[in-house]
Amino acid sequence: MPLPKRSILITGASTPWGRKLASILEDDPQFDPIIGIDFAEPEIPFKRLRFFRLAPPHPLIAECIRTAQIDTVCHMLFLDTYRYNEDVFQLNVMGTMDLLAACVAGQVERVILVSDSKVYGADYTHPNFISEETVLNGSFTHQYLNDRLEIERIVKNFAVRHRRPRIAVLRVANVLCRSVDTPVGRYFDSAVVPTVLGYDPLLQFTHETDLLGAVARTAASDIDGIVNISGEGVLPLSQVLRIGRKIPLPLPDPFMHAGSRLLKSARVLESTPLEIGFLKYNCLGDSTRMKTDLGFVPAFDSRKTVEDFFAYRNARRSRRNLAGYPLDPIALWELQGWLKARPHVVRDTMNQIREFNIELEQHHVSS
């Protein structure tokens, strides 16, 4: 018996994750009209997806949803910034609100949102494994987490008032991947990583392929509500740093902010950790519901994710290995964003590239 056709809309189809999700869904014939929207044109053309250049506050989205009779919306559009930015807030939070409004008007069956399991907040009063029903009462200074939390609150209020669309929220544990510069990835960037003296929290990690696999799985199933997504197993922070060959720099809790700022200005660190709670206490999501209700088994466990990430990052940053390492064009976009935020890295990289080119020319001349 053929599966019923589902018409699906992906927001943020030009973002690395949206692009990869699109190619997963394109391979599945049950998703028939696949429509993608984003405010930027995609770099690589799509196989089956119809792309429209629209961003969430645009009134045409509701029109598009109604005309194409969309029944599932995957909201992948979320921007992450290094410092507070009102435009990004507008796009992340207000954009989600506008999209939900468009979905109600367009009689969408289900909306799939990606969130972060860090919205639970790290606190010593939490159980080791936090279940989906836990009330979110954290408060954050980091805009990434603030926006995520704000969206979660909007979704909660929305679900009280509207029975349709049903909303599936995937709370994904720390994502480490090659194509997108995530907050956790940024924390592990420098050779020296600040930690809090006397604490060693346990961390869960999710690989990018598992994140996208879980979203695709949710789209194909009929699940709603909140699901924690995470790779199997946990790692202490100290072990992650050893796997990544990083030097831990334990700072006492009260000097954490000042110390890491000082080190950043001395260019030992590339970014300062903003949420110290996550470096002290565990924030682990209970992924039972992912296994039972969603029936999803991640391909990467936490340890493999970390090893894969560091193998890539360490290779990318080492000049001698760069020549033999294939580059991912999607990763290149991200690399550019990453470089822009770090002027001194750009300078170093430019020097490296110049030297590399000279070597390359010499090589051609000699051979």
Q: Which of 68, 97, 209, 257 binds other proteins (CB under 8 A)?
A: 209
**Interface with other proteins includes 78 (CB under 8 A)?**
no
Distance in Å, CB of 317 to other proteins, minimum: 6
Q: Is 365 exposed, middle or buried (0-12, 13-18, 19+ CB in 10 A)?
A: exposed
Angstrom distance (rounded) from CA 93 to CA 81: 14
Distance in Å, CB of 103 to other proteins, minimum: 26
Cβ distance to other proteins smaller for residue 14 or 72: 14
Distance in Å, CB of 234 to other proteins, minimum: 6
Contact region with other proteins (CB under 8 A), list: 26-34, 63-71, 119-127, 214-222: 119-127
Distance in Å, CB of 101 to other proteins, minimum: 26
Contact region with other proteins (CB under 8 A), list: 145-153, 159-167, 255-263, 309-317: 309-317
Contact region with other proteins (CB under 8 A), list: 63-71, 146-154, 168-176, 241-249: 241-249
Distance in Å, CB of 124 to other proteins, minimum: 5
Angstrom distance (rounded) from CA 200 to CA 260: 18
Place of tokens 């954490």: 256
Side chain identity, residue 212: L
Question: What does the per-residue mask of binding to other proteins show for 251-280, with x meaning CB under 8 A?
Answer: --x--------------------------x
Distance in Å, CB of 348 to other proteins, minimum: 5
Total residues at interface with other proteins (CB under 8 A): 85
Question: What does the per-residue mask of binding to other proteins show for 330-349, with x meaning CB under 8 A?
Answer: --xxx-xx-xxx----x-xx
Place of tokens 């544990």: 173
Distance in Å, CB of 113 to other proteins, minimum: 20
**Interface with other proteins includes 128 (CB under 8 A)?**
yes
User: Chain centroid to CA 225: how far?
Assistant: 20
Per the structure block, which two tokens stand in for 221?
A: 């199933």
Query: At residue 4, what are phi and psi to the nearest 5 degrees?
Result: -65, 145
* Pick from 5, 74, 9, 63: nearest CA to 35: 9
Q: Taking CB under 8 A as the criterion, which residues in 35-54 touch other proteins?
A: 40, 43
Q: Taking CB under 8 A as the criterion, which residues in 9-28 touch other proteins?
A: 14-16
Q: Taking CB under 8 A as the criterion, which residues in 288-307 touch other proteins?
A: 299-300, 303-304, 307
Distance in Å, CB of 257 to other proteins, minimum: 17
Q: Which of 3, 60, 105, 197 binds other proteins (CB under 8 A)?
A: 197
Cβ distance to other proteins smaller for residue 2 or 124: 124
Side chain identity, residue 155: V
Enumerate the β-bridge partners of residue 35.
Answer: 9, 50
Q: Taking CB under 8 A as the criterion, which residues in 79-118 touch other proteins?
A: 79-81
**Interface with other proteins includes 151 (CB under 8 A)?**
no
Cβ distance to other proteins smaller for residue 265 or 321: 321
* Three-class SS of 53-109: ECCCCCCHHHHHHHHHCCCEEEECCCCCCCCCCHHHHHHHHHHHHHHHHHHHHCCCC
Residue 287 DSSP class: T
CB 178 within 8 A of CB 328: yes
Distance in Å, CB of 166 to other proteins, minimum: 27
Place of tokens 């946990």: 234
The residues, ordered by sequence, that sit 6+ positions from 171 with a Cβ below 8 Å of its Cβ are 115, 116, 117, 119, 120, 132, 226, 227, 228, 229, 285
Cβ distance to other proteins smaller for residue 111 or 193: 193
Provide, for the chain, the percentages of residues in helix, strand and coil under a 3-state DSSP scheme, each rounded to the nearest 5: 45, 15, 40
